[in-house]
Amino acid sequence: MKLIVAIIRPDKLNDVLESLYRAEVKGLTVSRVLGHGGETDAVETYRGTTVKMELHEKVRLEIGVSNPFIEVTVRAILEAACTGEVGDGKIFVVPVENVYRIRTKEKDEAAVTPALH
Amino acid sequence: MVSSVLSAAALLAAAVQEAAAAAPPPTVSPADTAWMLVSTALVLLMTPGVAFFYGGLVRAKNALNTMMMCMAAFGVCGVIWAVVGYSLAFGTGGNYLGDFSFALLNNVGLDAKGTIPHVLFMAYQASFAVVTATLIAGAIVDRMRFGPYLAFIGLWTVFVYAPIAHWVWGGGWLSKLGVLDFAGGTVVHINAGVAATVAAIVVGRRKDFGRQAMLPHNVPFALLGAALLYFGWFGFNGGSALASNASASQAFAATMLAPMATLVVWMLLDYFRNKHATAVGAATAIVVGLVVITPAAGFVSPQSALFMGALGAIPSYYAIVWRSRTRLDDSLDVLAGHGVGGMTGALLTGVFADAAWGGTNGLLHGNPGQLLKQATGVAATIVYSAIASFVLLKAIAMVSALAADARAQGRGMDISQHGEEAYTNGEGALLVLETVEAQPAARPAKVATAGGVA
């Protein structure tokens, strides 16, 4: 059981969501974040002053997965989020102690298995 | 000596009287001038109105680009209008095009054109040329590069707008035929709607079209834009009487009533279809109602204006429903709003026009021939606008790519086209100073990024 944290480009979010959906990975959290990973700074101009944007908009995905899904999920994100240029992002696979599903009080593997409707 | 001067004066007076009897010299009316000054300013307000309407309907990352497409038309189309557009539209010329007699605003002076100064008439028409070009932007937002867009609307004003304006208002063949177009249903709305559709097809679809729902980022902006358009449209239609008179009042009332009826019908259609009356729908309905009444404003009774507004909602509403199921990426439904709305208005003008209300009788008043004339005007505008816009776009495409690449579209057109963002929070922004001596001594090379996560 792992927590997969992925930082990706905002314009790749759609591709990643589609790719995860195809891999049958369901249940995730998405947040907008600011970050910097060594890519070229974007230069913008406002009222005559030139500004270097050192922090770029990124999207962070957090996905709790059971062991058989770790590889599948990572692969899906790697394929969909890649443009080949600096700034594509990173994936962190983090160990998880326990997971609880609030609605049913289920624990661990059962809690990260998608609910049937 | 004295007697010869007197006799010369008498001769002159007689000559003047003779000339006056033959053709009374046009005089400038202060009342008409006052209303037309106000109308011109009102129509100029419609361009920012379109900017807010369109700007609110696009995604946040494209908001500035969309609004700039509208505001920049002031510059490009305004200057081109002064240089050559006005002359091609309103110079005497022939049946199809004006001439160069007013090029660079030569011979456009304080003399009377109708009952207002010629220079004011030119300014009023300039405000129309600008807002018409602006309407096209709605079909190609989110993807068309800024430079080619400006080239297109500039050329379009010269080669498409000016000729059609000449046909209808400049003494060209459609006006001789007797086509009724009070304030620009064909010249402005059908023309822009058709050109926009052609542009959407030639420029191509947006990167994520058909895969991702592209939602409006600021619906209150869209409502603000519709409100500004409503307000400005009183100058657009009311001013098209070119006088401060009964016709202007009639057009004013029609312009007020028609969108009201459209709004009611649109909300009902929306409610029965989706179980909600939507705000984006309401903003669209107001614009459609205004478009529909534009060709008819000075030719129909107030009751007919209400009917036209109500009927006008239906084709445009279903055109939007239909368009969203096709692969046509007319991003903000310029075809449905202005193209279909304009056609509905132009044809209904042939139905409701009333000689007692300043027009030629239409179908309902025993003159079915007028409907045929209206259809001719519509068809001619569609054909010419579509072909000429297509040729212009293809010509520009030979010099430079029309659409931004997928990467630029992904980052957003604000950053890729203008190097600005509409909603930047300023975090992580470093000031770049160009003068060496003004550099602060120690500036951190990088702001804290908590370990460079991305």
Ramachandran assignment for B429, one of left (phi > 0), alpha (psi -120 to 50 degrees), beta (any other): beta
Q: What six digits make up the tokens of B92?
A: 């005497």
- Structural domain harbouring B297: 30-409
Of 3.30.70.120, 3.40.50.880, 3.40.50.300, 3.90.550.10, which CATH number belongs to A2-111?
A: 3.30.70.120
The pLDDT tens digits for B38-58 are 999 999 999 999 999 999 999
Nearest to B185 by CA among B62, B55, B353, B330: B353
Position A91 scores a pLDDT of 97
Position B1 scores a pLDDT of 41
By percentage, how much of chain B surpasses pLDDT 90? Answer: 83
Count up the domains in chain B and report the number: 1
> Quick check: ipTM above 0.95?
no
Band the pLDDT of B142: cuts 50, 70, 90: very high
Alpha-carbon distance B279 to B219, whole Å?
7
CB atoms within 10 A of CB A13: 19
CA distance A4 to chain B (A): 14
Shortest CB distance from B430 goes to which of A14, A37, A52? A52
Helices (H), B170-301: 173-177, 191-203, 219-238, 246-274, 279-293
Q: What six digits make up the tokens of B414?
A: 């604000």
Residues of A in contact with B429 (CB under 8 A): 44, 51-55
**Residue B160, domain member (yes or no):** yes
Yes or no, beta carbons of A50 and B434 under 8 Å apart: yes
Position B424 scores a pLDDT of 82
Band the pLDDT of B60: cuts 50, 70, 90: very high
What pTM was estimated for this model as a whole?
0.87
**Residue B312, domain member (yes or no):** yes
Alpha-carbon distance B189 to B46, whole Å?
14
**Residue B11, domain member (yes or no):** no
Position B451 scores a pLDDT of 42
Judge whether B414 and B422 are in contact, CB under 8 Å: yes
**Residue B218, domain member (yes or no):** yes
Position B446 scores a pLDDT of 44
Alpha-carbon distance B13 to B45, whole Å?
47
Amino acid A72 reads V
Is the pLDDT reported for residue A107 higher than 70? Answer: yes
SS3 at position A64: strand
Position B196 scores a pLDDT of 97
Phi and psi at B115, nearest 5°, equal: -120, 15
B positions 385-424 inside 8 Å of A (CB): 407, 409-411, 415, 419-421, 424
The pLDDT tens digits for B356-376 are 998 889 999 999 999 999 999
Position B233 scores a pLDDT of 98
Judge whether B120 and B33 are in contact, CB under 8 Å: yes
Is the pLDDT reported for residue B159 higher than 70? Answer: yes
Kindly report the CA angle at B421 between B417 and B423, in degrees rounded to 5? 155
Judge whether A17 and B410 are in contact, CB under 8 Å: no
Ramachandran assignment for B4, one of left (phi > 0), alpha (psi -120 to 50 degrees), beta (any other): alpha
Q: Span B141-166, mean pLDDT?
A: 97
Alpha-carbon distance B222 to B59, whole Å?
12
CB atoms within 10 A of CB A74: 18
Q: Nearest residue on chain A to B406, judged by CA atoms? A: A11
Is the pLDDT reported for residue B317 higher than 70? Answer: yes
Q: Span A22-44, mean pLDDT?
A: 86
Q: Nearest residue on chain A to B214, judged by CA atoms? A: A14
**Residue B434, domain member (yes or no):** no
Q: Span B135-159, mean pLDDT?
A: 97
**Residue B435, domain member (yes or no):** no
Listed by start position, the domains of chain A span 2-111
Phi and psi at A48, nearest 5°, equal: 90, -10
Position B429 scores a pLDDT of 79
Alpha-carbon distance B359 to B314, whole Å?
25
- List B191's β-bridge partners, or say none: none
Band the pLDDT of B453: cuts 50, 70, 90: very low
Judge whether A46 and B420 are in contact, CB under 8 Å: yes
Helices (H), chain A: 13-22, 67-81, 109-112
The CATH number assigned to the domain holding B128 equals: 1.10.3430.10
Is the pLDDT reported for residue B443 higher than 60? Answer: no
Position B120 scores a pLDDT of 97
- CA distances, A83 to each of A42, B12, B64, B208, B337 (Å): 17, 85, 26, 16, 38
Alpha-carbon distance B243 to B225, whole Å?
27
Residues of B in contact with A36 (CB under 8 A): 428, 446, 449, 452-454
Is the pLDDT reported for residue A55 higher than 90? Answer: no
CB atoms within 10 A of CB A62: 14
CB atoms within 10 A of CB B60: 15
The pLDDT tens digits for B77-99 are 999 999 999 999 999 989 999 99
SS3 at position B423: coil
Judge whether B341 and B291 are in contact, CB under 8 Å: yes
Position B17 scores a pLDDT of 52
Is the pLDDT reported for residue B441 higher than 70? Answer: no
Ramachandran assignment for B424, one of left (phi > 0), alpha (psi -120 to 50 degrees), beta (any other): beta
Q: Nearest residue on chain B to A35, judged by CA atoms? A: B454
Alpha-carbon distance B366 to A104, whole Å?
74
Lowest-pLDDT choice from A23-27, B10-14, B245-249: B10-14
The pLDDT tens digits for B236-282 are 999 999 999 999 999 999 999 999 999 999 999 999 999 999 999 99
